Amino acid sequence: MDLEAVGKMAELQDDLTPLQIGTTGKYKGKAFEIIGRMKVSYNDGFWNEWYLYFSEGKHREGWLAEAQGFYAVCFDVDERVAPPRSEASSLKPGRCIEFQDRGLFEIEDIHEVKCQVSEGELPVNAPKGRESLSIDLTGPDVQMATIEYAKDEIRVYAGGYQDFDDFKFHNLREIEGW
């Protein structure tokens, strides 16, 4: 009996997301498939980070952040735009950070997050239990970004929000009654 799988099943029992591994869609016209996921939680909630594989384009790997019906796709960017780790604890919502040619981004919220459960393929090793300080930012024209201060790395992602219908999703999870 695979205890880990049983544990995962329990963790995902209350899962209510229309996405799943194998869901395909398009972001700004580029086709992708979902190949992995991390469900992260913080003090006042949780969200899903879906790992994407694009079959075309410059960026082959991306993330789809899904929270409360908002969907944003983002890609790895140079982590040097992020303030140094020593400043991380002093960052506050409302502060603006220059994202090179993407413009000025404003900090929306800051959460201490923990990876609750993961599945599929991920670029991170042993993701479960991984802790980080996650900073969400919004930029001009529905752009978004995330700065993640993890134990031994700083990761920065930038991208944009897109409406559910514009993703033209296929192979969505069936949600009973809907």
Partner 1 sequence: MAETPKESQKKKYSARKFDCTRCGAPIEIKYPGASLAISCPNCKVVIDISDQNYRILSKYFDKTKEYDPIIPLGTRGKLFEKTWEVIGFMVRRDKLSGYSWEEYLLFNPYYGYRWLTRNNGHWSFVTMLKEKPYSSQAALSRVFVNRVDFRDNNYKLFYSGHAVVAYVFGEFYWKVKTDSEVWMTDYVSPPYMLSNEWDNRELIWSRSEYVAKDVVKDAFKIESMAGPQGVAPNQPSPYLKTWQTMRLLWVFFIVVLIGINVVTASRALNYSAFRQMYNFTMNGKTNDTTTPVFELLKDKANVDIILKADVDNSWFYISGELVNEDNGDTYYFERTCEYYHGVDGGESWSEGSSTQNILLSGVPGGKYYINFDTESGDFRSIGDRNFTLQVQRDVPNAANFMWSFFWLCILPVISWLNMRHFEVSRWSESDYSPYASSSS
Q: Which residues bind partner 1 (CB under 8 A)?
A: 9, 12-18, 20-23, 33-35, 41, 44-46, 53, 68-70, 72, 93-94, 96, 106, 108-109, 120-121, 138, 141-142, 144, 161, 164, 171-178
Query: How far is the C-alpha of 160 from the C-alpha of 151, rounded, in Å?
Result: 26
| CB of 112 or CB of 153, closer to partner 1 | 112
| CB of 152 or CB of 176, closer to partner 1 | 176
Instruction: Write down the least CB distance from residue 108 to partner 1, Å.
Output: 7
Query: How far is the C-alpha of 166 from the C-alpha of 110, rounded, in Å?
Result: 28
Instruction: Write down the least CB distance from residue 164 to partner 1, Å.
Output: 6
Query: How far is the C-alpha of 129 from the C-alpha of 38, rounded, in Å?
Result: 10
Is 32 in contact with 23 (CB distance < 8 Å)? no
Within 13 Å, how many C-alpha atoms sit on residue 90's CB side? 5
| CB of 119 or CB of 148, closer to partner 1 | 119
| CB of 134 or CB of 154, closer to partner 1 | 134
Instruction: Write down the least CB distance from residue 75 to partner 1, Å.
Output: 18
CA-closest candidate to residue 35, choices 130, 119, 129: 119
